[in-house]
Structures are given as structure tokens and as C-alpha cells.
Amino acid sequence: MSGWESYYRNEGDEEEEQEESFEAGGEYKYSGRDSLIFLVDASRAMFKSQDEDELTPFDMSIQCIQSVYTSKIISSDHDLLAVVFYGTEKDKNSVNFKSIYVLQELDNPGAKRVLELDQFKGQRGEKNFQDLIGYGCDYSLSEVLWVCANLFSDVQFKMSHKRIMLFTNEDNPHGNDSAKASRARTKAGDLRDTGIFLDLMHLKKCGGFDTCLFYRDIISVAEDEDLGFYFEESSKLEDLLRKVRAKETRKRVLSRLKLKLNKDVVLTVGIYNMVQKACKPPPIRLYRETNEPVKTKTRTFNLNTGSLLLPSDTKRSQTYGSRQIVLEKEETEQVKRFDEPGLILIGFKPLIMLKKHHHLRPSLFVYPEESLVNGSSTLFNALLIKCLEKEVMAVCRYTPRQNIPPYFVALLPQEEELDDQKIQVTPPGFHLVYLPYADDKRKVPVTEKVMANPEQIDKMKAIVQKLRFKYRSDSFENPVLQQHFRNLEALALDLMEPEPVVDLTLPKVEAMDKRLGSLVDEFKELVYPPDYNPEKTAPKRKQDDDGSGSKRPKVELSKEELKAHISKGTLGKLTVAMLKEACRMHGLKSGLKKQVLLDTLTKHFQD
């Protein structure tokens, strides 16, 4: 059916595809843009570091925000970002509140904004900040949250998630003023009711950061999250970056589907994409005169009359067995639709039955959703716990959308894991693994194995043991993509030259040689012959004196057979090699082309 599907997704049909996805039970909708406000405490305490070698909390916050900006430019440049300082000497905001400075309002990330943040990095940046904005101490957090709410309300775009990320090392900002603290708690509750989430990125301070003093009642906790603000404060930039990356983007659900355990038991789940291949963004065509993006429109015309054809004037066809099968548009849509979107449980199988070669593509992640069926989380957790206890996987039929054929999938249970700082490393849920159908499997020819002796096996074990390392896929970046984006970044930020890219996929030859020592030479002596040289090119096989040697076809065509071929007109059915051999046997000068050989033989025997 892939032929129909790829043919039907033609120019001009994209809107129809979108409408079809919207009609699939009302579960597919445009989520909008992700919006994020970085709210940074700019009071005097943020500019003091614990040790001389450490970064100040303010510098850590600026570098972290700048890192998010650059990553957003590459990954999702349509998202909206803003930077707000509070506790400042000067003020700049729409409602003229004191000690609140809006550096950047909600807008798309860009090179100009990154350069604006760069002026506040390091010791030079601290001096620039003091000259341009200045740090103070008196502020009201309720007014700060009010300004952030106004920034969200001024945006004209539809927003999927509205988040505020608060950077501070003060655990009790209104310790001596209960009225200010009460107003801040009330305003934080108002933001939570309007769908604005507040995350705390607390930084290290003398005596430790106690969230129970004030921020416990301020921070928003989503329904599917644990109390994530109890992890330890950040003292290093790496720890802060890790927390921000975990919180900066709400995971967008691909689709919300029903998981049917039987006819009467149904729960709702969300499908999430865990791995997506990173590619270079496609180039955008611009009009030469104004540099404005241009749009491409495709029209269908009649080949004979040149008249414009409407969608209703065309049909779809596909050749099957030299016969052209023609279908109407409605028939094509009906052929493509197999079942309603969702997951249908087929049964359970032991986990050991899933083999590595069964994984056809990157898996998806399944997590409970309460939006369509109440109680889905409870039933989902019960199913997950039992699958983990019994070490089984659920085998299901998976239909992503109405116009997509069903897939055969396995749901692998995964238990929740937390690190030392109580940050979730792996969430609880099921990995949706695509399984092959019987038609997808191929038989691979098995070559005869050459068995190694025990001494060779032991030597290779020693080599493998020496070269083992702790592998993490997120430690290896694509060097081609990194170089591409570094070049774009250098052009956008007017840098003299792009930042050099380290290719982490190259083996560390010197370190490997140092680890192995003489093991490689000892292994080569055990396996290869004494005169073996892997870099030596194989000698070319010499041909016989008469040219083609043993590869020449052994053809003996008599004079009568050649005359018979000429008279019947079948001489052209002979191969070039056979014609050359016939010319050689009769002492004729033969050329390279077949027609020359045919003319030479025909003229010789007709004369």
C-alpha cells in the first residue's frame, strides 16, 4: 500500500491530510509555540562566588540561558524566549514596577539576542551589568510574577506551554515581610490556575538552600511530575545545564490514543518520540531583490489542451500485472484506511523472546493520559507493575492514524530511576518497539565458520578487556551537523572564525596503543602468517599470452553454421565474444563494435 500512499500525498493534498488527522476522533491538534521566560535574581548575593575559582551564580545563570538560546536556534527557532532581571537598581517594564528590568521580551531566539546576553558574561560582564542596569536588594516577587504574566498576555501567537524558570540563590526572599510573601504565594497560585508553570533553578549558597522556607508553596508541579524541586542546589554549570535541559521543554505528545485491553476495559495513553534523526535544515528559497521567502505552488494542466485541471478532474492509478488499475479519490481513501487509531492488546510474551534483530526502527514511549478516560494512570501503573514483576511484554496492534496501516508492536516495561540529586533519569512507562511481520524477515546465507583455538580466544578477550569504556550515546555528536551549525553561528554572530569542532567519532589511536601494549602484535602472530602485511596490495593476476586466457568462451562454429546464421538473419544473436572468435578462426580483422563484426563476417561469406 506504500505505492498508493506516496502517490496520493501529492502537491496540494497537504491540507487534506491535515484535515483527515484532525477528524480522527479529535485527538490531533496544533499545540502552538513553547514559551519560556528566564527570571534571574540580580541582587548583590548573586554576584558573589563561594571560591575564587568558581563562577558566580549570576554568571552561571547567564551562560546557561545563552546555551539554551543557541540550542533553540538550531532545534526549535519558532519557540518564544524572554529574559527578566529582578532586584535591580534600574527598572524597565510595562507597568513601571520598581527593581524589575525586562531585558528581552518574548520573541524568537536570534543572533542579536545571544550577543546581548554575551555582554553580561564573566568579570567584564559583571561590570557592564553594574553600569547599565545595576543590582539592588528591595523587590516584590508578586510584582515580578505580574510582569511575567503581562509578557505572556502580550503575545499574539497561540502558545502550547507557558513556563517561567527562576534562577536564584536566596531561599527566603521576603523573610521579614509576611505581607509580601503572602502576595507572592497568591500571585503564584493565580499563574498556576492560568496554565503558567514556575520552575525553580536554585543555586548554591552558604548554609544550603532550604526550599521549605518559601519556594515550596510557589513552584508549580504538574500532574505527571513528582516534587522535582527537592533536588540539591547547583554549584557547577554542568549541574545547572542538566536541570535546565530537563525542564526547558515540555515533552510534546505525538498523539493521544486509546489502549484497549478488551472490549470493556480501555485507557488513554500518550505516544512520545524519544529519538529523532537530526538533519540539516532545508534551504529556504528567497526572492533575489528583497530576500523575502518565496512560496511554491503546483498546478496540474491537461497535456493536450493546456487547460487547468481541478482535483476532481484527476484520478489515481497503479499498474498491477501490466494492467492499469484506476480508482477514484474516495476509493483510494477507503483502501488506505484499515482501522480506528489506537492500541489493541493481543497478549503477553516473556521479555527474553524479544531479540535484537526485531527492532526495526527507534522505539516510541507510552505514558498514561487522563484527558480522555479518567483513571487511566491508575490502570496504566497497575499494568506496568505486573509486567515488571512477571518480566513480560505486551504485544499489541498499533494504528497511529486513520490513513496509516497497522503495525505489530511490543510494549516493554520500564521502571522509574532517579539519580543522586533525585532528578528523574528514566521515567516509568512502556517502550513501543516495532516488530517485523513475517514478510519483512529475510534469510541470510550463513558462511562456514573458521573456529579459533583457545589461545587465540584468550588473547582477543584480553584486547577487548583493555579497550572497554562506558558508552553513552549522548556523548557523541554528529561532526558534520556540528560543523554546519558552527559555521552558521559564526556568520550570524559576526565571529572571525567558527569554533573548532572535535570529532568524537574518531578512535583515540595513541591512547588505544598505550593501553594495548604488545597485545596486538601477539594476537597477529597467533592468527596471521609470518609474512602477512594488511597494507600490501594483492598482486594482479597475469593474463595468458593470447589475451583473454581461461575466460574466453570455448566456441567452435563451423563454416556451415555461420552461413546458416547469415542466411536466416540470426547472426546478430551471437555474442561479441563468439563473433570475435569466428573472425579469428577465419583470419579476418575484427573491430570492437558488434555491427563491425557482423558486417565483416557477412561480407566474407557472401563473397
CA–centroid distance for 11 within its chain: 26
Contacts of 407 (CB under 8 A, 6+ apart): 397, 398, 399, 400, 434, 435
- Amino acid letter, 186: T
User: Burial, 87: exposed, middle or buried (Cβ in 10 Å; 0-12, 13-18, 19+)?
Assistant: buried
Contact in structure between 79 and 33 (CB atoms under 8 Å): yes
Whole-angstrom distance, CA of residue 56 vs CA of residue 459: 52
Reading the block at residue 44, the C-alpha cell is 548583590
Q: What is the DSSP letter of 362?
A: P
Does residue 29 carry a catalytic annotation?
yes
Q: How many CA atoms lie within 13 A of 223 on its CB side?
A: 10
Whole-angstrom distance, CA of residue 148 vs CA of residue 144: 6
- Amino acid letter, 296: T
Whole-angstrom distance, CA of residue 401 vs CA of residue 473: 31
560-566's contacts with Cβ under 8 Å and 24+ in sequence apart are 562/601, 562/605, 563/605, 566/601, 566/602, 566/605, 566/606
Whole-angstrom distance, CA of residue 43 vs CA of residue 167: 11
Task: Rounding to the nearest 10 degrees, give the CA dihedral for residues 106, 108, 112, 118.
Answer: 70
H or E stretch at 452:
none
Whole-angstrom distance, CA of residue 59 vs CA of residue 64: 8
Whole-angstrom distance, CA of residue 38 vs CA of residue 113: 13
CB atoms within 10 A of CB 529: 7
Cα-based angle 125, 127, 130 (whole degrees, multiple of 5): 110
Q: Which of 29, 48, 514, 603 is catalytic?
A: 29
- Residues tagged active-site: 29
